[in-house]
Amino acid sequence: MSLIRRIVLASGSPRRAELLTHAGIPFRVCVPGVAEFRIIGESPQDYVRRLARLKARAVHAAADEIVLAADTTVIAEGEILEKPTSPADARRMLSLLSGRVHEVKTGICLRLGGREWEDCETTRVRFLSLSQAEIDEYAASGEPMDKAGAYGIQGLASRFIDRIEGCYFNVVGLPVSLVWRYLACVSEENPGVRLKSGV
């Protein structure tokens, strides 16, 4: 299989780095310094796409490097759930997710020189109904604190997930197949971006 040679991951997320590694996509990390806030009236999709775009523009890359940036958020009952600010906030979010279907949206942006490619992936996730004891125990584990929506589908919260519709990896933080399709597209449109074969 041919893989893109030079990728700059504009993210400090260990989960996104792990997903790229498992997919065999070589990269280096450059963490962007971008303030994450929502503009009044901005839709969840526009929000994650804008943040991904700002992150992609915030890091330095060589002329032949493709910058990849992403931003993920959770939407439940019309509310955008960011990373919780406290265990109490995590418990509030988990109570909102309990027994309901919510959406996870990840905006991606790829940049090569002055050109950019953007998209957004949506996955629907259904939670089991949680008891207060389950919510308290999970919030106390610390796992929710650095995750949008206050849960990690790949961790302890996996026991709460009844089913999903769409890309699992999108819920983890990066829709890998969507990213791969764009990487292939960028390389085909830009022959100067070399491919690495046989990896």
Rounded CA gap, 106 and 118, in Å?
11
| Nearest one of 155, 166, 181, 152 to 25, comparing CA atoms | 181
**Beta-strand pair 7-9/28-29:** parallel
Residues 160 and 150: beta-carbon distance below 8 Å: no
Residue 182 makes CB contacts below 8 A (sequence gap 6+) with 108, 110, 117, 119
Amino acid at 169: F
Question: How far apart are alpha carbons 147 and 133 in whole angstroms?
Answer: 20
Is 71 one of the catalytic residues?
yes
Annotated active-site residue in 46, 64, 71, 162: 71
Q: How far is CA 77 from CA 16, 93, 96, 191, 199, in A?
A: 26, 11, 8, 45, 44
Buried b (16+ CB within 10 A) or exposed e, 159-173: ebbeebeebebbbbb
- Annotated catalytic sites, by residue? 71
